[in-house]
Chains A and B, each alone.
Chain A
Amino acid sequence: FVLTQGNPRWEKTDLTYRIENYTPDLSEAEVDHAIEKAFQLWSNVTPLTFTKLPAGQADIMISFVRGDHHDNSPFDGSGGNLAHAFQPGPGIGGDAHFDEDERWTNNYRDYNLYRVAAHELGHSLGLSHSTDIGALMYPNYIFSGDVQLAQDDINGIQTIYGPSKNPTQPTGSQTPEVCDSKLTFDAITTIRGELMFFKDRFYMRANSVYPEVELNFISVFWPSLPSGIEAAYELAERDEIRFFKGSKYWAVLGQDVLRGYPKDIHSSFGFPRTVKHIDAAVSEEDTGKTYFFVANKYWRYDEYKRSMDAGYPKMIAHDFPGIGHKVDAVFKKDGFFYFFHGTRQYKFDAKTKRILSLQKANSWFNC
């Protein structure tokens, strides 16, 4: 996080705001609700309170304006600049302006007012732009379906105003750090020759051309996929990736989620009702067999026959000795399985049923 230069802050905690005018894109009630929710994000983690005034001068004046609106920072029509806000202080200090040449929404379509207001109010309270891509104070518009303060935002605002008195204040989501030795993964899959690692709302992507690991939101590629993917595998023959969460799964072709998904894992793969979710999955291009790992057992599914092979489930420990009783993620590369559990990664040779090496889970990131 970054504090605004000079550390401007409000000297009182009971702040007021007023919505001077309304965008025709949303009903007044929807605008009020979006702005109220945005203030709540910040009041939940600080001693600050925000009271809406129906008229008169408030600490934070909110308005929808277009082009040059006489504050030395003209808006630029549709796209580009979406909004801006001023640091704490008298007069225009703290005020937030939203570009009326944008379309304001209360859903995932551009641009979600709640999401942009949450960011601008961070400026109104004294925060500047963060380099943490998972933070609300990151300067570019990214809407991943939900709006929550990252731990980086909370650390920043509490540096200025201290924590909330409410003992149950929320903690923020943590953006994964690729070289964190404690990094674990929700799911991993190959994708057209690359590897993609999934953690919470994020993916990490490693390939041989770029030395740095790319970290971004899953929603950048697949906006309709949920966060917290639990398993994923590539069905290379059909150039499909399948993502699993709970009893649902999605099939994507490149960046397109195929029609008719999500589907149910019980009716599609024949899992018993006792299976509530999949821990990990991997498919073998040469045999057409897909391995599903659930708790301490695994199933084998025949992609050609589209049915589970007989005799399953079997115990993981029996056929994959040494990798433990639970798998977080798995993929296959160059004939070898790579099993992940916690911070451990096992390279496993299925032919000899031996572990060839034990590494850190993030060993692919050249830390």
Chain B
Amino acid sequence: HSFPVAPETQQQDVETVQKYLEKYYDLKDVGTHIERRRNSGSVVEKLKQMQEFFGLRVTGKPDAETMKVMKQPRCGVPDVAR
């Protein structure tokens, strides 16, 4: 029963996803404009990899459940070999 989120929260989520995947899932930080990357293949692939790792629904989308896990405090070591 989640409610529509405000646009700026969506923007924050995109950045959260970006940073998380760069830090823990070896997403290459090529400095491209974040907005355009939101739908890029590599982000979707890495997001799926993270969702599979945590046993979440593998949607490739930053759904509420995925964002909740991303915001949990954790160990700084990546989940995948770099």
Q: In the assembled complex, how far is the CB of residue A230 from the closest CB belonging to chain B, in whole angstroms?
A: 27
Contacts A133-B55, A210-B57 given; does A82 touch B76 at CB 8 Å: yes
Interface segment among A15-23, A72-80, A322-330: the answer is A72-80
Interface bits A288-327 vs B (CB < 8 Å: 1, else 0) = 0000000000000000000000000000000000000000
Tell me if A119 and B73 are in contact (CB < 8 A): no
Cα A84 to Cα B76 in complex, Å, equals 5
Contact A141 B72 (CB under 8 A): yes
A140 to B69, CA, bound (A): 8
Bound-state Cα–Cα, A73 to B76, Å = 8
> Is B79 in contact with A139, judged by CB distance below 8 angstroms?
yes
Interface majority SS (helix, strand, loop, mixed), chain B:
loop
Chain A residue with minimal CB distance to B52? A131
Residues of A within 8 A of B57 (CB): 210, 212
Q: Which residues of A lie under 8 Å from residue B73 when comparing CB positions?
A: 79-82, 102, 110-111, 140-141
How many positions in chain B have a CB within 8 Å of any CB in the partner chain?
Answer: 15
B64 close to A (CB within 8 Å): no
CB distance from B48 to the nearest CB of A (A): 14
- State whether the Cβ of A31 lies closer than 8 Å to any Cβ in chain B: no
Q: Is the pair B76, A119 in contact by a Cβ cutoff of 8 Å?
A: no
Known contacts: A131-B55, A133-B55, A140-B69. The answer to whether A82 contacts B77 by CB under 8 A is no
Contact A81 B55 (CB under 8 A): no
Name A129's contact: one of B69, B72, B79 (CB within 8 Å).
Answer: B79
Interface size of A as a range: 20 to 34
Interface centre among B57, B72, B73 (most CB of A within 10 A): B73
Q: Are B69 and A84 in contact (CB under 8 A)?
A: no
A128 within 8 Å of B by Cβ? Answer: yes
* In the assembled complex, A245 has its CB within 8 A of some CB on chain B: no
A129-B79, A139-B79, A140-B69 given; A81·B74 CB < 8 A: yes
Chain B: CB-nearest residue to A110: B73
Q: Check B55–A119 contact: CB distance below 8 A.
A: no
* Inter-chain contacts of A111 with B (CB < 8 A): 73
Closest to B75 in A: A139
Give Cα distance in the complex from A85 to B53, angstroms.
Answer: 20
User: Shortest distance in angstroms between B25's beta carbon and chain A's nearest beta carbon?
Assistant: 11
A5 interface residue per 8 A CB criterion = yes
On whether the beta carbons of A120 and B75 are closer than 8 Å, the reply is yes
* Among A81, A110, A212, contact of B75 (Cβ-Cβ < 8 Å): A81
Which chain B positions have C-beta within 8 A of A128?
77, 79, 81
Residues of B within 8 A of A119 (CB): 75
A141-B74 in contact (CB<8A): yes
Bound: A123/B69 CA distance, A:
21
Q: B77 contacts which of A75, A131, A139, A140 (Cβ < 8 Å)?
A: A139
CA distance A141 to B73 in the complex (A): 6
B66 to chain A minimum Cβ distance, whole angstroms, is 13
Report the bound CA distance from A354 to B14 in whole Å.
56
Closest chain B residue, CB of each to CB of A137: B75
Residues of chain A contacted by B69 (CB below 8 angstroms): 140
Name the contact of A85 in the complex, choosing from B24, B72, B77, B78 (C-beta under 8 A).
B77
Whole-angstrom CA separation of A336 from B13 in the bound complex: 45
CA distance A262 to B60 in the complex (A): 43
Separation in Å of the A37 CB from the closest CB of chain B? 18
CA distance A210 to B59 in the complex (A): 13
Cα distance, A4 to B72, chains bound together (Å): 23
Residue pair B55, A84 in contact (C-beta under 8 Å): no
C-alpha spacing A302/B29, complex, angstroms: 64
Q: Which residues of B contact A (CB under 8 A)?
A: 24, 53-55, 57, 69, 72-79, 81
8 shortest interchain CB distances as A-B pairs: A84-B76, A5-B81, A81-B76, A140-B72, A141-B73, A140-B74, A129-B79, A139-B74
